[in-house]
Amino acid sequence: MTEVFMFDALREATDEEMAKDKSVFVLGEDVGHYGGSYKVTKDLHAKYGDLRVLDTPIAENSFMGMAVGAAITGLRPIVEGMNMSFLLLAFNQISNNAGMLRYTSGGNFTIPMVIRGPGGVGRQLGAEHSQRLEAYFQAIPGLKIVACSTPYNAKGLLKSAIRDDNPVILFEHVLLYNLKQEIPDHEYTLPLNKAELVREGSQITLVTYSRMRHHVMDAVSTLVTEGYDPEVIDLISLKPIDIYTISQSLMKTHRIIIVEECMKTGGIAAEVIAQINDKHFDLLDAPAVRLSSQDIPTPYNGTLEKATVVYPQQIIESVRKLIAY
């Protein structure tokens, strides 16, 4: 086991897959000589050269289209969004081409590409750099979506995403790149469609993903001292949702809170609750609760920014309230 930062875990995954498969290459803004805005591609340019670590112009729609074309012809591109918010400028290529071409070609094409990069609410980065885009992309048919939350799952998920024959979006949180964890020295991959049972419990199910996993675990440390026994699930896969793992938990706890950084309206929690209501409503002894960010552009002001996002104390209070329901 070796302790690494999350950005290093992602870099290791990219390096290992590029060394193993010459069809894998990276493209994006500042991924080459600069090493990526968060150093995920540091030193890869020197190792693999200009054609496999490709610096692009500031033209997101164009280089995303180039990546789709490369995937169709047998390559495996990894597109880094300097900030995932910028990929809204490539939304047409992601939805109309990456998501659809396998279907509209009658299966003649596969689109083995990965779209990854930093997102989420940072620290005073302003509205355009603090967007939560999970729900935007979740609505697109043909995509797989995962969100990493630890160095361990970041590396395993990225390796699996690179090997997958479908377009995969990997969301990395801008505030987790310097998170440290021991990960195995041997090679490993993780499934792209499975949630992780982080903590077993009997009273209430807390479902979360990305940075909110850590806020939930902070809240759990307090709740346990008060005698509560929460179960914690990290969704990891945002599309498809692993509703089976959630239902297995609800069979024990019969209560659920979904904690997310996505917007409340039309967010990931809304989809989770909809699927629970469709398939497992009879397992609930209390209404499903969602704790989400406010439906506003993220303020630059630090105090206002903090007020838009869920923090551990809100989770603690919601657990107390729902168990007493």
What distance in Å separates the CA atoms of residue 300 and residue 130, rounded to the nearest whole number? 9
Q: Is residue 28 part of a domain?
A: yes
Claim to verify: residue 212 and residue 161 sit in the same structural domain: no
Q: Is residue 191 part of a domain?
A: no
Q: What mean pLDDT is predicted for residues 111-123?
A: 95
What single letter denotes the amino acid at residue 109?
F
Last residue of a domain, one of 149, 183, 217: 183
- Centroid of chain to Cα 287: 26
Claim to verify: residue 176 and residue 264 sit in the same structural domain: no
**What is the CATH classification number for the domain harbouring 140?**
3.40.50.970
Claim to verify: residue 30 and residue 139 sit in the same structural domain: yes
Claim to verify: residue 155 and residue 304 sit in the same structural domain: no
Domains identified in the chain, total number:
2
φ, ψ of residue 295 to 5 degrees: the values are -80, 60
- Please list the active-site residues: 60, 129
Give kind and range of the element (H or E) at residue 21.
none
Claim to verify: residue 200 and residue 173 sit in the same structural domain: no
Q: Is residue 30 part of a domain?
A: yes
What distance in Å separates the CA atoms of residue 143 and residue 240, rounded to the nearest whole number? 9
Give kind and range of the element (H or E) at residue 31.
none
Claim to verify: residue 145 and residue 203 sit in the same structural domain: no
For residue 121, the enclosing domain spans: 2-183
Claim to verify: residue 7 and residue 154 sit in the same structural domain: yes
pLDDT band at 58 (very low <50, low <70, confident <90, very high): very high
CB 205 within 8 A of CB 180: no
Average pLDDT of the chain is 96
**pLDDT tens digits along 168-188:** 999 999 999 999 999 999 999
What distance in Å separates the CA atoms of residue 222 and residue 316, rounded to the nearest whole number? 8
Q: Is residue 13 part of a domain?
A: yes
Claim to verify: residue 130 and residue 233 sit in the same structural domain: no
Q: Is residue 266 part of a domain?
A: yes
**pLDDT tens digits along 256-295:** 999 999 999 999 999 999 999 999 999 999 999 999 999 9
What distance in Å separates the CA atoms of residue 241 and residue 243, rounded to the nearest whole number? 6
Claim to verify: residue 178 and residue 202 sit in the same structural domain: no
Claim to verify: residue 141 and residue 228 sit in the same structural domain: no
Residue 114, pLDDT > 90, answer yes
